[in-house]
Every structure is written in C-alpha cells, then in structure tokens.
Amino acid sequence: MARHRNVRGYNYDDDFDDDDMYSHSVEDDYGISPATAAQFIYSKRGRHQSFSEPLEEEEDEDDDKSRAPSTALSPIDQARLFSCLDQMREVLGESVSEQIMTDAVLQCGFDAAKALDQIFKQESNTKKSGTQEATASERKGKARDVPSADTHIVPKIAKLTVSGNKQTMGFAVPSASTEVNGQNSITACTKGQTTDDAMEEADNSALSPASSNTSQVSEDLNSTPSQGKSSGKSKQKINIKEELEKRQGGKQLLNLVVIGHVDAGKSTLMGHLLYLLGHVNKRTMHKYEQESKKAGKASFAYAWVLDETGEERQRGVTMDVGMTKFETKRKVITLMDAPGHRDFIPNMITGAAQADVAILVVDASRGEFEAGFEAGGQTREHALLVRSLGVTQLAVVVNKMDQVNWQEERFREVTSKLGHFLKQAGFKDSDVSYIPTSGLSGENLAKKSEVNELKSWYKGPCLIDQIDLFKAPQRSIDKPFRLCASDVFKDQGSGFCVTGKIEAGYVQTGDRLQVMPPNETCSVKGITLHDEAVDWATAGDHVSLTLTGVDIIKINVGCVFCSLSEPIRACTRFRARVLLFNFDIPVTQGFPVIIHYQTISEPATIRKLISVLHKSTGEVVKKKPKCLTKGMNAIIELQTQRPVALELYKDFKELGRFMLRYSGSSIAAGVVTEIKE
C-alpha cells in the first residue's frame, strides 16, 4: 500500500532473485517458493464490500417474507396494497421494513394515511420503551424487520488493515484473551523437530520469566483501579485485568493464520465459511458468482470473497498484514492474511509470528495431497514454519472430500501421513485435530455435515466448532509494554500512527513510551482498536497508536515501543540457540543471513559458532565448531548491521524468537539466549 513506509528499506527482491532455490523440497533446503506466496493469498485487503453489510442478506430474505401475505390476497387487494406501500415508501423511505408496512396496511383496511399513523405511533412507543434492538435496526434502515433469531447470529465483523483505515462495519467486541487457567500455547511451544530441542532449555527457564520486569507493572496493575475514561491529558491508571474481563464479555481473542499448499482450497474454504457465517450478503456473493463465471473461473466464486483485491495487492508494498474479524460462540477470531507480494515470506513470517493457532488446509484428492505433501509441496514447509514461530495448535482441514466420495479410508490415509510428520515437526497429537470438509459445497464448515457418506463415519466437530475449541493463549498482560511496529504512517491531524500487535503489557492514552531503536520517547495520543478509538489496549490486541513527541522520520517498521521504566534492549550482537533445518550448505563463521524477527528482516552475519549442543539434553557436544550442518542444534553469535530490539526468549517468548534465511531459503529457527551489545 502506497502509504506504507518500509523504512528499513531492505530490498527483498535480493532475497528472492535466485529462482533455483525454489525448486528444492523442504527435505532439501526448506525453501519456500513464490508459488507459496501465490497460493497463500487467500485474502485481500480491499474487500470493502465483502463483509460490510451482513444485514442486507436478511433484507433480501425479509423482502421475500414480507411479500408472502400479499400473495394470499386477491389481485385487487394486492394492487391496493402495493399502491399503499408506494405511498408510504415516499414518506418513510427505507426506514421501515416492508413487512411492518404491509401489516399496517392490512390492519388499516388499505388506508395508507392510517397505516402511516399507526407506524409512527408504534415507532414512538418502541423508542420510549427503549428496545435497543428495534431502534437500532430501524435507524439503520436496512435491517428491515430482521427476526430476532436471525439478528443474533449475524456475526460482528471488522476488516481492518494495519493502516488503521476505517473499514469497519459493526465490530463491537474488541477483545484480548486472558484465559488465566488456559494453557499457554505460546509458552508451550518447544517440542519437536523444528524448534523443540533448541528451545527446550529456554522454555524451562522461561517458567521464571523476568520477574524483576513484572514487578513494576504489577504494582501499576494493582494501584489505581478506575474506569479509565481518559484523555491524553488527564490519564487515570486502570486495573487492566478487570477492564479486560468487562471488555471481552466472555469472548477470547484468537489470532488465526491459514496455511497450506497452493490450490488446497484455502480461499474457497475461508470465503465460504465467512459467507455461511453471514459476513457476505447474498447480493455480493451473487456478484462474485457472476464475475467469476465471466472470468471463466466459476469455481473460484467463494475464493473471491477473500481474493478481491488482486490489483491493490500488486500495487501494495510489503509488511502489511491484512486482518479480518469474525466471531464464533466463544471467541473473537482475527483471521490473518498476508499480501501476495514477492516478499511474501517475510510477510508470512510476520503473520505467523502473530498467530496463536493455524489452520492447515490439505487437498484430499488423489495425487493432489501427495503433490502438496511430498517434495516441492508447501504443506510441510508451512507447517514447519508456523511451528517454528510458536504456533502449537493446528486444525488440519482435509478439504475437497467431495472429490473422493467422502471416503473414510482416504481421510485416514491423509491424516496418518500428516500425523506422523506433524509429530516430528513438534506438534503434540492432542493439539492437532483433523476435519474432513468440502470448501466448495460448504460441508462441515459452519455446521455439521448432512452428507450421509460423511455422517456415517465422522462424528467430530465442524470447522467453526473446531476453531471455537482452540485454547486461547495466555497473554503477557502483566509484563512491561511491548509493541513491534508493523506499519508507520502519517494520518490526518498532528502526530503519526504506528500499528502492530501488543506482545506484552498494556497501553493507555496519555502514556509515555520509549522506542527502541532509536531510543526516543513519545506520547500516546490515541489508541485505535478494531477501528474504534479506545482508552487502553492490552497484550494480544492489534492496535494503531497515534503518537506525538517524536519525529516520524526516526520511526521504522520493526521499532519496538516499550515501557519507559523497563525498555527493551537494542543490540547489534547477540547469542542464540538455533536449530538448523535441512540445508545443504555448511554454515560457517561469517555466513551471511537475513534475520526475520517479528516485523523486520535485517541482514546479519554469523559472527561466531560457539558450540554444538546435544539435541535432547542440550549439553555441549562440541565447542567452537568449524561449521554447522543440517539438523544441528547450536549456540551461535549473530551480528546485525543495524541495531535491533530483542528480548531474551526466556523473558518474552514472542520477542525472543526469530528465523534465519539465506538466499530465499529458511535455514534455521532460533531463540535469543544472550544479548551482547
């Protein structure tokens, strides 16, 4: 997007110039191809219409319903009715549903004037009685006579981009999760082949996280509880835990990323799910159907729900991660999508780094699953990538089951192959679920399938229920504030905006923050969460902060905003424990890499090879090795060209985890163990 400043100015093209590197399998080099990018584009950012008017669909239905009584009338009465309706419509416009008008006309013996009087009376009574739902729907003028049973299932949704542009419609549940007793999926992230052994040690030590860091904040937390109706000037401290409970209304926030091989059906699946949930009205869906038919791609209609902005994407630039919100029974889901740009991998890493859970879509069709899973496919690569970035819970969608006649046998074949691999990749069996679906026909997405062939053997939850079953991670709300900027832009008014996910702590309007690098301070003038101005936001929230007191020119994507009292450290030299992926070139001292960390990609060199570690015990096997080869666990020292703000993995898991890439291939996952200078 044009406004986006990729201030670090790293030319990702350099990273992707070598075409050869994409031809290898994950077994060979863990490379991720541009094709991956192409297929991961299951969502786009400019879907202005797609989710904007969920009530319109009902409008259509209601229109139909409202005409029902009229069909029971004699032709003459029908004509009288329509004439009255026309007269009334001139007065009322679209503000009252046709059903209400029809009822009034019938009750008033086809007298339009009387019917109007009756409606006005009803309306004022309704207002007096303060029935909020009624007034709201009348005022909107679109939700004509929406039956209450329907209204409650219309999910609230927001489409937000990290630019903070207002594109929201009706999203009213800003929430972050603090499932206090829930399992911390991020903290429990380190088992398995990818990052398991490498991180196990750090994981253990993380059980006693930066206790010194937390003390100040917990003091704050307990100090002055108040409703926090703050302006930038008169700031009152809030009791964040209490406020959060109130705000969430019982719903947990979950950040979800969808991954999988090209053509597995990701876009169709998620597009259809959103449609079934009511986020896309019938008219828009009809438009997609027509357009996709015209384009000779009728089967892509649902995919177009999410793939609407190809053009915009081509023009757009880099780091933005588009987000779509939808709700399940107990959760508010942020569905993350990465823009389909050549620098997609950094974007995917950014997206996955912010994800709590993932949906892995595989194609059940014969030959197709194998193509995605075997050499050259992205199924393994994506799964490894998200696992290495801390995602522990996975819903595997075995899609296109219609293509294999809903055969249980095929489902079992696919899941057993995948299960074996996912276990090796570090996913616990209990954190992986498998759901047979058809994204195209919509089976098993928003409700359990009615297809007999499937019903006969599959008794598990449908996709939306499975999403609901994900455990929300415990957010680090009682740690010092940390937010890594994913976008920096000038908005109207004074100051400027940064967007990003709050990784730890909380922020209130009026707070002063430190930015690392460049080690400047600034004030928070405003906070926008889900396109609504709020007084505070906390860990897990994707927010936009309006800042003053610092020059925008000094602020880059990747800068970490943190608490003044306990700032993050910026360094150019740090030590890390890394696990090397299957990568054929031996890694030696002086090896050039790109560090992908949160929202940044920074050139670096491997300054020292400190030691090789035993995979499971973590004991030093060899000191000062000459080179590292695939599968090894090692401690290395990295030197970046410019300062980066990092945390020790044991203190802040989210901010202590990174990926190393070389020449377009992911070569290692690492965790920060020591910050040098």
Q: Which stretch binds ligand GDP (CB under 6 A): 225-233, 296-304, 536-544, 663-671?
A: 296-304
Residue of 21, 202, 440, 539 that binds ligand GDP (CB under 6 A): 440
Q: How many angstroms separate the Cα of 36 from the Cα of each of 292, 361, 390, 452?
A: 23, 13, 20, 35
Q: What span, in angstroms and rounded, lies between the C-alpha atoms of 526 and 534?
A: 8
Beta bridge partners of 395: 359, 433
Where are the alpha helices (H) located in 365-520, listed in sequence order? Answer: 368-373, 379-388, 408-424, 452-455, 463-469
Q: Does 42 bind ligand GDP (CB under 6 A)?
A: yes
CB of 438 to ligand GDP, least distance (A): 4
Q: Does 372 participate in binding ligand GDP (rule CB under 6 A)?
A: no
Smallest distance, Å, CB 402 to ligand GDP? 5
C-alpha to C-alpha distance for 642 and 196, rounded to whole angstroms: 29
Place of tokens 């950094």: 346
Other CB atoms within 10 Å distance of the CB of residue 467: 23
377 vs 480, beta carbon nearer ligand GDP? 377
Binding mask 221-260 for ligand GDP (x = CB under 6 A): ---------------------------------------x
- Number of residues binding to ligand GDP, judged by CB under 6 A: 20
Buried b (16+ CB within 10 A) or exposed e, 515-537: bbbeeeebbbbbbbbbbeebbbb
Give strand ranges (E) for 288-402: 322-327, 331-337, 357-363, 393-399
Residue type for 365, please? Answer: S
CB of residue 479 to ligand GDP, shortest distance in Å: 37
Q: Give the count of alpha carbons within 13 A of 481, CB side only.
A: 24
Distances (CA, A) of 140 to 74, 136, 275, 594: 33, 6, 22, 51
Q: What are the structure tokens assigned to 85, written together? A: 């309706």
Confirm or reject binding of residue 438 to ligand GDP (CB under 6 A): yes
Query: Based on CB atoms, which residue is closest to ligand GDP, 288 or 591?
Result: 288
- 547 forms beta bridges with 496, 524
Binding status of residue 368 toward ligand GDP by CB under 6 A: no
The CB density around residue 490, as the number of other CB atoms within 10 Å, is 11
From 144, 159, 191, 400, residue interacting with ligand GDP (rule: CB under 6 A):
400
Residue in 587, 667, 592, 663 with CA at minimum distance from that of residue 22: 663
Which C-beta is closer to ligand GDP: that of 300 or that of 427?
300
State in angstroms the smallest separation of the CB of 521 from ligand GDP. Answer: 44
Query: Which CB sits closer to ligand GDP, 256 or 613?
Result: 256
Work out how close the CB of 34 gets to ligand GDP at its nearest, in angstroms, rounded to a whole number: 13
Pick between residue 300 and residue 489 the one whose CB is nearest to ligand GDP: 300
Is 26 or 134 the residue whose CB approaches ligand GDP more closely?
Answer: 26
Alpha helices, H only, 155-261: 196-205, 211-223, 240-248
CA 649 to chain CA mean position, Å: 23
- 124 secondary structure, DSSP code: H
Helix (H) or strand (E) holding 641: strand 633-646
By CB under 6 A, name the one of 143, 188, 210, 264 that touches ligand GDP: 264
The stretch near ligand GDP (CB under 6 A) out of 6-14, 248-256, 261-269, 374-382 is 261-269
Q: Which of 59, 138, 263, 503 binds ligand GDP (CB under 6 A)?
A: 263
Instruction: Specify the residue, 201 or 443, whose C-beta has the smaller distance to ligand GDP.
Output: 443
Asked whether position 480 contacts ligand GDP by CB under 6 A, the answer is no
> Does residue 445 bind ligand GDP (CB under 6 A)?
no
Mode of pairing for the β-strands spanning 620-623 and 665-675: unpaired
Residue selected from 118, 177, 195, 268 as contacting ligand GDP according to rule CB under 6 A? 268
- 373 interacts with ligand GDP by CB under 6 A: no
From 404, 372, 382, 425, select the one nearest 579 (Cα to Cα).
Answer: 425
Binding residue for ligand GDP (CB under 6 A) from 96, 188, 210, 303?
Answer: 303
- 403 counts as binding ligand GDP under rule CB under 6 A: yes
Considering the complex, state which of residue 39 and residue 601 has its C-beta at the smaller distance from ligand GDP.
39
Question: Does position 265 bind ligand GDP by CB under 6 A?
Answer: yes
β-bridge pairing 252-260 and 331-337: parallel
Per CB under 6 A, 116 contacts ligand GDP: no
Contacting ligand GDP (CB under 6 A), which of 247, 266, 482, 501? 266
HEC readout, 535-548: CEEECCCEEEEEEE
Task: Specify whether the CB–CB gap between 300 and 333 falls below 8 A.
Answer: no
**Could you give the CA distance from residue 306 to residue 322 in angstroms, rounded to a whole number?**
11
Looking at the Cβ atoms of 116 and 306, the one nearer to ligand GDP is 306
Which listed residue (390, 439, 505, 618) binds ligand GDP by CB under 6 A?
A: 439
Cα–Cα–Cα angle for 84, 85, 87, nearest 5°? 65
- Give the binding range for ligand GDP (CB under 6 A) out of 399-407, 466-474, 640-648, 664-672: 399-407
Amino acid at 631: G
Residues that bind ligand GDP (CB under 6 A): 39, 42, 260, 262-268, 299-300, 303, 399-400, 402-403, 438-440
